[in-house]
Each structure stands twice: as C-alpha cells, then as structure tokens.
Amino acid sequence: YAELFADSRKWVKEGWVDYINPQIYFTFTRRVAPFGTLLDWWSNNSYGRHVYIGQGAYLVNSRAEAAWKNLTEIPRQIRYIREHNRIQGSVFFSSKSLSTVARSVGDSLKNDFYKYPALPPQMPWLDETPPNEPQSLTADALKDGVHLKWQNPLKAKDGETASGFVIYRFTEGEKIGVLDPKNILKISFEDYLTFIDTSAEAGKRYSYLVTALDRLKNESEPSGPIGVEIPIAKE
C-alpha cells in the first residue's frame, strides 16, 4: 500500500461517505509524515463529515521507530485529537493491541481518557430529529437499589420512538444537566424500560434524569429530574 489510487478527500467533500477513518499510524516525529501535520490536514478537509483518526496501537513498543517506545506517544495523540472539534474520535488498530497499550501507559486509558461513557457523535445530515422524552418516570428506593421505571416516548415527527435510553444520576447539590458525562450511569441500546441502580449509597439523596435515543443516537430532552432518598438500614 505504498501508493494511493483513490481520492478519499473527494468522497468526503462530495458527501458520499458519512465518516472516514484515516490510518495515521505515525508518530509526531515521523519526518516524512508527522502525526500532527496529517491530523491537521484531515481536520481542515472534513467538510462536515465525521473523521475518526486511526491510531497505530500495534506499533507501541515496536522496533519500527524509536519514538514508539516513548510511552507518552499514544496519550499525546489522543490529547491532540481532542483539541480538534472537527475530529470526532479515534480507532485503534488492532483491538488486541490495546492490552499492550494499556500495560505501557498504565491506567491512563481507563482512568483518564476513557473514564466516562460517551454517546456516539450525531449525523444530522441523516437524521436531525431527536426523539421525544421518556414518559412517566418513577424512582423507588428498595433493598436491592433504586428502581427506575419509565414508558416509551410518544412518536417524534419522523415517526421514531426510542432505540435506547441514557440514565443520569446526580448527588444532592450537584448541578443537574446532561452535558457532563461523569453523570452518565448507564447507556442502553436495548428496549428495556427499567433500570436498577445498585450503587446508590444508604443515607444519600440522588436525582435522576432519563433521556431517549433514536436509531441514529439523537438524544431527547430529559425526563425528570426525580429525587429519591436512600434509607439507612435498621440494625
């Protein structure tokens, strides 16, 4: 694959694809093709479509290039990707190589970069109509946890109801909203209309929101908040 025989930029520019995954399997110090320069180019040529940068996880600690032995290379790449609002994420090659990366960079993937769940980026050129919010949200503190129940939303103007749900949880005094992923308790792409929060702590008060997701992961306005206090078990 030393030569390129397709104008992939044209695919993006013409809107023929919904996303593209450039395989930038290089380091920042690669002389002929530095990671940062190539990422900047794709960011400037995204034309409103999604760009997911391919990262060479399989090269970490390899002999291919000395820079791959630098344990900050992948973390630096992730940070640089996140500085570009026209880049929607990254794809690691290969999946089995992620264990090597995880061992090399410690716990930063789990405890820093991917600490919280995230919703897939939306594709408004395919569907920009969000679903309606879930109906009749209730919360009950029982012995095995907080039981949340709700009903499917009414059909949106495009005829969709819900293909999944997001449950948010907030402690007492915490700002309530859907913009901070640390408050996401569960993302479900199932059609369940119940959820049991088994991690709620006795003596604390929580508030919950539930939103609906449609087939293309547009998110509804929230249902709630609904509050519940966890009783302290009697001895």
User: What percent of the chain lies above the pLDDT cut of 70?
Assistant: 98
Instruction: Specify the pLDDT at position 100.
Output: 74
Instruction: Specify the pLDDT at position 2.
Output: 60
The pLDDT mean for the chain works out to 93
Is residue 37 within 8 Å of residue 70, measured between CB atoms?
no
| pLDDT tens-digit series, residues 34-65 | 999 999 999 999 999 999 999 998 998 777 78
Instruction: Specify the pLDDT at position 152.
Output: 98
Instruction: Specify the pLDDT at position 233.
Output: 75
Instruction: Specify the pLDDT at position 106.
Output: 64
Instruction: Specify the pLDDT at position 5.
Output: 81
pTM confidence score: 0.90
Instruction: Specify the pLDDT at position 42.
Output: 98
**Which residues in the chain land under pLDDT 70?**
1-2, 106, 235
Instruction: Specify the pLDDT at position 232.
Output: 85
Instruction: Specify the pLDDT at position 65.
Output: 84
Instruction: Specify the pLDDT at position 63.
Output: 73
Domains with residue ranges and CATH for the chain: 8-113 (no CATH), 135-229 (2.60.40.10)
Q: Using CA atoms, how far apart are residues 22 and 112, in angstroms rounded to an integer?
A: 24
Instruction: Specify the pLDDT at position 235.
Output: 63
Q: Using CA atoms, how far apart are residues 42 and 19, in angstroms rounded to an integer?
A: 12
Instruction: Specify the pLDDT at position 103.
Output: 74
